Structure 1
Amino acid sequence: MDFSRFFLIILARRKLILSTLIITIITTLIVSLLLPKSYMSTATLVLTYKGADPVTGAILPAQLNPSFMATQLDVIKSTRTALMVINQLGLDHNEVVKEQYEVSNSNLPLREWLAVFLLKNLDIETSRDSSVIGISYKGADPMFATIVANAFANAYQEISIRLTVEPSQKAAAYFTDQLNVLRERLETAQKKLTDYQHEVGIIDPDTRLDIETKRLNDLSSQLIIAQAELMGSDSGQGINHRGGETSSTVRNSMINNLKLSLAQAESRFSDVSQKFGPNHPSYAGAKAEVEKLRAELNKYIKSTTHTAISQEAEIRASLEEQKTKVLSLNSARNELHLHFKEVEGAQQAYNNAMQRLNQTTLEGQANLSSVSILDPAKIPEKPHSPKLLLNMILSVIMGAFLGLGAGLIAEMVDRRVRSPEDLVDVFKVPVLGVIQKEVSKQKRLQLNLPRLIR
């Protein structure tokens, strides 16, 4: 079917097409006027939240997080938000609402039925590249629609605060419990340290060890000196082989005086022995004096040597005792260091927990919301639906399509010959000629007038 045939069909069925169009327009107009008016009020919110990337720690705007906006929409449309709106407006105590609930014969409780009803008429609008959210509510009463839209905005703002605060409050409670455990652990470690310090009698192990080590070194030096005095050395100190003397005896003034007296007595005895015989009284006296001085000298030498040996033994015993003491002190120091580290670790864990507790407590007490109300909902002046102008435009378009469809269906049911091409298509024979439609008498007179004049 070409356009000319289609145009001929429209001309032939114009009454049916126009009737269908007019009926559609009138029906749409009547229905639009009879439908109850619905009003929509919208509250606009803006999200100021910025999240941190869990890997890089970089701060990302909310709109760059693909799941953030979807999560916020789910929060707004949640039953918890609707129940908070019901609490704010006290809808569950309204008598009209109770009557409607009884008429509905719903199996749900009143509050859940109200939540479903409110969420059914709630509409959320978002933009892909924006953090602005529009909360719209549709209702027959413009005032009620405005109140509910603002109530949802306020409820969502409060819910966002609670969703931020509640985890911090739970974390604060957890850290409080952990803090008690860590405090007990710290007190136990401190008590162990104090008890051990009382047990070993050491407060500062490093200072005490330095003092005892210095004393050990002094005793070692004293022992070396005592051994050198007792046993002698390559430089000539030590025991005098001629008299069994030690270096200490050599330095003894009494012994030196006795040696000098003995030398003088021996010199006199030598002189006397050259002059007198053994039986002479002078000889016997000089000899007795020499023997007396020699005996006294040997006595002092033995006493001094014995004293040096005793001192060396005493110093050696003190040195061994000091070694044992230093080793014991070193072991005690290591044990104290372990206790100190245990106390330090417990103190650090306690301080970290206290810091986290303070942080989470502040976060739990914060009432800062990441949601701000940009524009509160206002009472709409015009109904949102039905939209009369839009419905009429759509009715014209739909009526035109319905009219054309009705005309084509009527043409298929009652097929007529509208053009010479139809004869060729139907009878498969060529057209010899076309008889024009009958001309009126007035037109015929106009056509024949030139002939009559001639």
Structure 2
Amino acid sequence: MDFSRFFLIILARHKLILFTLIMTISTTLLVSLLMPKSYKSTAVMVLTQKGADPVTGLIMSPQQITGYMATQLDIIKSSRTALMVVDQLRLDQNEAVISQHKQSNSSLGMREWLAALLLNNLEIETSRDSSVIRISFKGTDPAFTSIIANAFANAYQEISVRLTAEPSQKAASYFTDHLNVLRNRLEVAQKKLTEYQHSHGIVDADSRLDIETKRLNDLASQLVVAQADRIGADSKFDGASRTSEALSITRNAVINNLKINLAQAESKFSEISQKLGKNHPSYIGAKAEVDKLRSELSRHISFTDRSALNQEVEISKALEEQKQKILTLNRSRDELQILERDVEGAHQAYNSAMQRLNQTTLEGQSTLSSVSILDVAKIPENPDSPKVLLNLVLSAFLGTLLGVGAGLLAEMIDRRVRSAEDLVDVLHAPVLGIIKRDMPKQRRLQLALPRLLR
């Protein structure tokens, strides 16, 4: 079917098409006028959670921000929020509502039935890349719709605070119980450290070890000096080698003076022996003085030798005792450091738990909400539905389609010849001519229009 034949069918069936269009528009208008009016009230909320948390200071990651809005929409549509609205407005105590619930024969309880009913008429709208949420409620009573919309906004604001505070309160309770355990552990570790210090007489192992080490070094130095004194005392200064004479240098002043006097006396005796004989009084006096000095030197050297030997033995014994004392102190210091590390670890764990307890307690007591009401829901002046003008426009379009469809269906049922081309299609014979007579203007238009279109 070409366009010319389609147009001829439309012209022929225009009454049916027009009747269908009028009936569709009339029916739509009648239904729109008879439908109960529905009002829509909207409360506008804004979320500020994309920044840092005012209590913890934490900043949400981009992945958390992406799913944050979807999570908030699910929270608003949750039954907990709806039940909070029912409790705030005390809808379950209304006699009319109780009567409707009984007539509905629902298996749900009063509160759950009301919550489901409210959620069916609730609409949530968001914009892309926006933190604004629009909470709308539809109903036949304009004042009731604004009340319910504002109630959902307030309930959502309150439940956002509860969802933040409740986990923190549970965490604070856990940290309080755990803090007692950590406190007991710290007290036990501190008690062990104190008892160990008292039993071993240790105040500070490191400083005491430094003192004892210094004392050990002093004893080692004294031992070296005592050994040098003993070696010097062993040298009798009577024909010893140069090495022995070099080692005979001692720190005893008496022995040094006696050696000097002996050297002078021997020098004087040598001069006298060369000039005088053995029986000369000067020779005898000089020899007696040399013998006396040698006797005193031997006596002092023997005494110094015994003193140096005793001193060396005493210092050696004290040195060994000091070494054992330092070794014992090292073992005590190792054990003390273990106890100190236990106390330090218990103290750090206690401080960390105390810090977390303070933070969770602050979060649990916080009433700050990341949700703010931007615009409260107002009582709507005009109904949201039915929209008569929009329905009429849609019905005109739909009526036109139905009318054209009805015309084509009627043409298929009652097929008629409306042009020369129809004769060719029906009779399969060529048209030799067309006889014209006086005919209505509309009929002449129907015959001439296909030629004009061609």
Q: What TM-score, normalized by structure 1, do the two folds share? A: 0.82
The 8 Å contact of residues 50 and 65 in structure 2, kept in 1 or not, is answered as no
Amino acid at match of 2:46: V
Supply the distance in 2 between the matched residues of 1:338 and 1:214 (Cα, whole angstroms): 25
Structure 1 stretch 13-22 or stretch 81-90: which is displaced more? 13-22
Deviation of 1:216 after TM superposition, in Å, equals 1.3
In structure 2, the partner of 1:240 is 236
SS in 1 for 2:138: strand
Deviation of 1:144 after TM superposition, in Å, equals 0.9
In structure 1, the partner of 2:81 is 81
Structure 1 stretch 327-336 or stretch 406-415: which is displaced more? 327-336
In structure 2, the partner of 1:433 is 433
The 8 Å contact of residues 236 and 301 in structure 2, kept in 1 or not, is answered as no
Q: Is the alpha carbon distance of 1:350 and 1:217 closer, same or farther for their aligned partners in structure 2, counting shifts above 3 Å? A: same
Deviation of 1:76 after TM superposition, in Å, equals 0.9
In structure 2, the partner of 1:400 is 400
Q: Is the alpha carbon distance of 1:291 and 1:397 closer, same or farther for their aligned partners in structure 2, counting shifts above 3 Å? A: closer
Deviation of 1:253 after TM superposition, in Å, equals 7.1
Supply the distance in 2 between the matched residues of 1:50 and 1:293 (Cα, whole angstroms): 106
Deviation of 1:361 after TM superposition, in Å, equals 2.1
1:180 equivalent to 2:185? Answer no
In structure 1, the partner of 2:11 is 11
In structure 2, the partner of 1:40 is 40
Q: Is the alpha carbon distance of 1:293 and 1:8 closer, same or farther for their aligned partners in structure 2, counting shifts above 3 Å? A: closer
1:215 equivalent to 2:220? Answer no
For structure 2, list consecutive stretches of 5 or more residues without a partner in the other structure. 53-57, 441-454
Q: What TM-score, normalized by structure 2, do the two folds share? A: 0.82
Deviation of 1:43 after TM superposition, in Å, equals 0.8
Once the two structures are superposed, what CA deviation does each residue of 1:142-181 show, in whole Å capped at 9, x if it has no partner?
A: 1111111111111111122222222222332333233222
Supply the distance in 2 between the matched residues of 1:37 and 1:178 (Cα, whole angstroms): 61
SS in 2 for 1:45: strand
SS in 1 for 2:44: strand
Q: How does 1:305-344 map to 2 (within 5 A)?
A: 305-344=305-344
The 8 Å contact of residues 160 and 370 in structure 2, kept in 1 or not, is answered as yes
Q: Is the alpha carbon distance of 1:292 and 1:19 closer, same or farther for their aligned partners in structure 2, counting shifts above 3 Å? A: closer
Deviation of 1:241 after TM superposition, in Å, equals 5.6
Once the two structures are superposed, what CA deviation does each residue of 1:216-246 show, in whole Å capped at 9, x if it has no partner?
A: 11111111111111123xxxx6431649998
Deviation of 1:200 after TM superposition, in Å, equals 1.4
In structure 2, the partner of 1:445 is none
State how many pairs are aligned.
Answer: 421
Q: How does 1:339-418 map to 2 (within 5 A)?
A: 339-418=339-418
Q: Is the alpha carbon distance of 1:319 and 1:434 closer, same or farther for their aligned partners in structure 2, counting shifts above 3 Å? A: same
Supply the distance in 1 between the matched residues of 2:144 and 2:256 (Cα, whole angstroms): 127
SS in 2 for 1:99: helix
SS in 2 for 1:252: helix
Supply the distance in 1 between the matched residues of 2:5 and 2:296 (Cα, whole angstroms): 168
Supply the distance in 2 between the matched residues of 1:29 and 1:250 (Cα, whole angstroms): 138
1:274 equivalent to 2:279? Answer yes
Amino acid at match of 2:396: V
In structure 1, the partner of 2:148 is 148
Q: How does 1:64-213 map to 2 (within 5 A)?
A: 65-213=65-213
Q: Is the alpha carbon distance of 1:328 and 1:423 closer, same or farther for their aligned partners in structure 2, counting shifts above 3 Å? A: same
Once the two structures are superposed, what CA deviation does each residue of 1:263-305 show, in whole Å capped at 9, x if it has no partner?
A: 79xx8xx9997279xxxxxx9xx99999999888766654443
The 8 Å contact of residues 249 and 304 in structure 1, kept in 2 or not, is answered as no
SS in 2 for 1:137: strand
Supply the distance in 2 between the matched residues of 1:8 and 1:302 (Cα, whole angstroms): 158
The 8 Å contact of residues 250 and 256 in structure 2, kept in 1 or not, is answered as no
Amino acid at match of 1:168: S
In structure 2, the partner of 1:228 is 228
Supply the distance in 2 between the matched residues of 1:127 and 1:293 (Cα, whole angstroms): 121
Supply the distance in 1 between the matched residues of 2:136 and 2:62 (Cα, whole angstroms): 25
Supply the distance in 1 between the matched residues of 2:349 and 2:251 (Cα, whole angstroms): 68
Q: Is the alpha carbon distance of 1:298 and 1:68 closer, same or farther for their aligned partners in structure 2, counting shifts above 3 Å? A: closer
Supply the distance in 1 between the matched residues of 2:411 and 2:376 (Cα, whole angstroms): 58
Q: Is the alpha carbon distance of 1:429 and 1:410 closer, same or farther for their aligned partners in structure 2, counting shifts above 3 Å? A: same
CA RMSD of aligned residues (A): 3.5
Aligned residue among 232, 251, 254 for 1:252: 254
Supply the distance in 1 between the matched residues of 2:206 and 2:278 (Cα, whole angstroms): 72
In structure 2, the partner of 1:446 is none
Once the two structures are superposed, what CA deviation does each residue of 1:112-161 show, in whole Å capped at 9, x if it has no partner?
A: 11111111111111111221111111111111111111111111111222
Deviation of 1:360 after TM superposition, in Å, equals 2.3
The 8 Å contact of residues 234 and 301 in structure 2, kept in 1 or not, is answered as no
The 8 Å contact of residues 51 and 60 in structure 1, kept in 2 or not, is answered as no
Once the two structures are superposed, what CA deviation does each residue of 1:89-115 show, in whole Å capped at 9, x if it has no partner?
A: 111111111111110001111111111
The 8 Å contact of residues 43 and 153 in structure 2, kept in 1 or not, is answered as yes
Supply the distance in 2 between the matched residues of 1:43 and 1:289 (Cα, whole angstroms): 130
SS in 2 for 1:135: strand
In structure 2, the partner of 1:421 is 421
The 8 Å contact of residues 238 and 247 in structure 1, kept in 2 or not, is answered as no
Supply the distance in 1 between the matched residues of 2:420 and 2:364 (Cα, whole angstroms): 89
The 8 Å contact of residues 41 and 138 in structure 1, kept in 2 or not, is answered as yes
Q: Is the alpha carbon distance of 1:61 and 1:49 closer, same or farther for their aligned partners in structure 2, counting shifts above 3 Å? A: farther
Supply the distance in 2 between the matched residues of 1:358 and 1:243 (Cα, whole angstroms): 90
Supply the distance in 2 between the matched residues of 1:199 and 1:297 (Cα, whole angstroms): 54
Once the two structures are superposed, what CA deviation does each residue of 1:324-373 show, in whole Å capped at 9, x if it has no partner?
A: 11221222223222322322222222222222222222222222211111
Amino acid at match of 2:279: Q
In structure 2, the partner of 1:450 is none
Supply the distance in 1 between the matched residues of 2:121 and 2:362 (Cα, whole angstroms): 38
SS in 2 for 1:274: coil
Supply the distance in 1 between the matched residues of 2:177 and 2:118 (Cα, whole angstroms): 42
